[in-house]
Amino acid sequence: MKLSIIVPCYNEELALPFFFEETEKVIQSMDVEREYIFVNDGSTDKTLEVLKSLNSAQPNIVHYVDFSRNFGKEAALYAGLVYSSGDLITVMDADLQDPPELLPEMYNLIMNESFDCVGTRRADRSGEPAIRSFFANQFYKLINKISQTEMVNGARDFRLMTRQMVDSILKLSEYNRFSKGLFSWVGFKTTYLSYENKERVAGETSWSFWSLFKYSIEGIINFSNAPLLISAWMGVVSFVISIIMMIFIIVRTIIFGNETSGWTSMLAIILLIGGIQLLGIGILGQYVGKIYLEVKKRPIYLIREIDKEKGHELW
């Protein structure tokens, strides 16, 4: 069996030597061939130089793909899947928050229990800011209520998959990608291993609260049309309320006569309805924007450089 290890990299020059050393210790104890595919996602530090050094030392094992700019982790992950050639494929972060020591157990579950995918999930969110943990938990509760695709709370991208499953994922060549949802959407027999949360071995995370928030919005829009239904129902409710208010005003005018009072309440109602309309338009705009990006058919990523060994295999 050949194992492909896909590692998206963005400013990971400090973590990469530790990652490669620790992962090699584990992989060499397994009865598999191996290839590393590092995808440099437009790093601004010396990540590419480190990758070239690793490739020079072991050109048959270590490969790298260098993007022309930063396209995001989703694009890097997809590129790694495209260039992988293994019978089994794993996706890992370079910061060692995805513990390599789980790989032998994941391998045994696929080989002996006939699983197509063994994923990982954090047993807790220790070491993470409380506000981030709260919103993360709320996101998973929300997405599992409004989407037909189930997503496991705390699930990581770190997983071991069969070639059949990866080939199925590669058929989903959409521009707007949310891998956690895509991994679940394709199905296949999957199980999860839990582990304690780990700190980065070196460097700093590129994921801020705002970037995670935008990423969660991507997931909701890509895997649910519930926001569109909510905006439609808000329109229905505001219409019904406006009819009731019109009847109330007409009846009051007939009984008490036409008064000039009530301008404040009328202004509040106008602002309420206007706000609901703008909210609905904004939600619709998000979906239209995604359609716009899809129909332009732009590539998910562009490559500036690829190592000679992998390039020779491809071309």
- Per residue in 149-196, pLDDT (tens digit) is 676 666 777 889 999 888 988 888 877 777 777 888 788 888 888 887
Q: Is 136 helix (H, G, I), strand (E, B) or coil?
A: helix
pLDDT of 31 over the 60 cut: yes
The third-level CATH classification (topology) of the domain covering 2-129+150-208+300-314 is Spore Coat Polysaccharide Biosynthesis Protein SpsA; Chain A (3.90.550)
| 70-94 mean pLDDT | 88
pTM value?
Answer: 0.69
Distance CA 233, CA 244 (A): 17
Q: Is 208 helix (H, G, I), strand (E, B) or coil?
A: coil
pLDDT of residue 315: 42
pLDDT of 107 over the 70 cut: yes
Q: Which of 185, 195, 188, 182 is nearest to 114 (CA)?
A: 188
pLDDT of residue 217: 67
DSSP state of 155: E
Among 28-32, 120-124, 144-148, 201-205, name the one with the lowest average pLDDT.
201-205
Distance CA 158, CA 233 (A): 39
Q: Which amino acid is at 107?
A: Y
